[in-house]
Structures are given as C-alpha cells and as structure tokens.
Amino acid sequence: MALVCTGGILMKIALIAPSGLSQYTELGDMHFIVPGYSSKKFYATETKFKMLDNGAWEYGEAINTDILLDWAKTCRVQEIVLPDVLMNKQQTLLRSADFISTLTDKQKRYYSWAYVPQGKNLEEWIEAYKLATKTEWKIDTLCLPKWLESKYHARAKVISYLKGRELWDYRPHHLFGLDSLSEFFTIDPKGIRSVDSAKPITYAYHKVTLPLWESPHLVRPSGGSKPRKIMDQYVAQNTSLFRFYANWRENARRLVDHSI
C-alpha cells in the first residue's frame, strides 16, 4: 500500500525516537522505523502508515536482508527502503539488486518499495536519480538522502535542478533526516510526500524548543532513554512547529484566505 498526499500539497511528517520514547512518534502523520533503534513491539500494533528504514545512515550500509525482512514482518510495515550504501552509486545498485533477487513475488507485491539514489558527489547523485527513474524494478517512492543537505547544503538546489530540466519523477518522494526547519523555506514541496526527523523528539528530550534558523547539536537519546519531566509539552510544541513549517506555504495561503 503506497502513501499518497491528498487535499492539496501536504507533506507528511514522521518522528524518529528510540524504543523508550516510541509513544511520542504517534504525534506524526506516519511512522519511520529505524532497525535497532526503534521498538519492534511498539510498531507491531501501530496502524498509521509505516516506512521501514534499512539502517544505512546509522551503520554506514544497510543491515542484513533477513534482519530487515524480519523487522518488516514483525512491525507490519507498508513500505521498505531498499538497501543502499552511503555515497556509493554502484554498491547501492548491487545491494538493491541482490536484495530484490531474494524476494518472492508475493513479497514484491505486498510491500511498497523506496529507493535511495546514491553518488560520490552531486553530479553522480543526479545520474543515479535519473537511472532510478528508468529501472524496471518496482520502485514506489524515491528518497533524497540526508547528505545532500548536511554535506553540500544543496538538497533544495538538486530538487530545483531536476524540476527545471523536467527530470523530476512523478512518483512520491521522501526527505531523509531533516535537521533544520529553515530547509523547508528553500524546498519546493510539490512531489514531496513525506519527511522524517529525530530533531523534534531529541530537542524535547533536552527540554529545548526546536529553533527555526539554527540547530545546535544535541545528542540523540539512546535506545533505553525514558521520558523526562515536562518532556510532553516540548514534544507537542516541537512537533507542531515541525508540521507547520513542513507545510508553511499551504498554512500561509490558508491564513491569507481566512483574512480576506
């Protein structure tokens, strides 16, 4: 089952949290599950759309195929991110191809599949993206990796480049690991289905309001972390801010329409 946006251009948000803080992710529009960090037990009974990451950002490359599929089955996810290797176009293609070759026809049909183009630089990433749009694999969602922004501050520029040259694919897109609310101001949201981030809950854990322009580094809570006193109000506040700015254009339009 694929997740699509309805009722205008609305970007779905997913909150990342360690197993001990999983209950806070219910405030998101969908779930983004990180194997080994998230809670299997919690997500097994959640009914919102569930996207399973492959762990490449956390571990350098995707986790073992059998482990990934076990997480998918136990958590009852709808979408799985195909294996990728950070900034390595060829290894990502090989890992994804090997993974797909192990799947049964039933598995291929049952899950939605997300693919993460990779490359050693911006130019190679764009080539990998174009290649992904032409593959015969069943790809339901295309993902834009975190390093496009964290390394080059260019995720918005890449999106504009692809759209300006009519290379942007019609399929839904997902933004990995947004670190700063200010990135939302630079991104054209059309075609961006969803975004995940650990920031709203990480900042709440440290009792800090999510900042708009600067994002000081705060240590992400570990897997065994437990809720802290008055953390609830910070999570609610940070989630509201994240959701508002993810869809700030639509929110601004509604404010204008309401004032007329």
**pLDDT above 80 (res 259):** no
Angstrom distance (rounded) from CA 41 to CA 97 = 30
Can you name the residues that pair with 115 across neighbouring β-strands? 142
Over residues 157-184, mean pLDDT: 97
The pLDDT value recorded for residue 253 is 78
133, part of any domain: yes
**Cβ–Cβ under 8 Å, residues 187 and 160:** no
* Cα three-residue angle 112-54-151, rounded to 5 degrees: 110
At residue 227, what are phi and psi to the nearest 5 degrees?
-55, 145
Comparing 4-13, 25-34, 142-151, 202-211, the range with the smallest average pLDDT is: 4-13
5, part of any domain: no
Find the CATH number of the domain harbouring 88.
3.20.20.105
Mean pLDDT estimate for the chain: 93
**Cβ–Cβ under 8 Å, residues 183 and 149:** yes
Exposure letters 142-161 (e unless 16+ CB within 10 A, then b): bbbbbbbbeeeebbbebbee
pTM exceeds 0.75, yes or no: yes
**pLDDT above 90 (res 160):** yes
51, part of any domain: yes
Comparing 9-18, 107-116, 251-260, the range with the smallest average pLDDT is: 251-260
The pLDDT value recorded for residue 7 is 39
**Cβ–Cβ under 8 Å, residues 14 and 28:** yes
18, part of any domain: yes
Which band of pLDDT confidence, cut at 50, 70 and 90, is reported for residue 226?
very high
Closest residue by Cα to residue 243 from 18, 46, 29, 50? 29
- Number of other CB atoms surrounding residue 140 within 10 Å: 19
The pLDDT value recorded for residue 214 is 74
Which residue range(s) make up the domain with 180?
12-259
Helices 122-134 and 155-164, axial angle in degrees (round to 10): 50
78, part of any domain: yes
pLDDT, one tens digit per residue, over 46-57 is: 999 999 999 999
At residue 103, what are phi and psi to the nearest 5 degrees?
-80, 145
44: CB partners within 8 A, 6+ apart: 74, 75, 76
Helix (H, G, I), strand (E, B) or coil at 192: strand
Percent of the chain topping pLDDT 90 = 87
4, part of any domain: no
Of 11 and 9, the one with more pLDDT: 11
Angstrom distance (rounded) from CA 212 to CA 184 = 10
97, part of any domain: yes
67, part of any domain: yes
**Cβ–Cβ under 8 Å, residues 114 and 176:** no
Name the domain count of the chain. Answer: 1
The pLDDT value recorded for residue 180 is 94
The pLDDT value recorded for residue 2 is 55
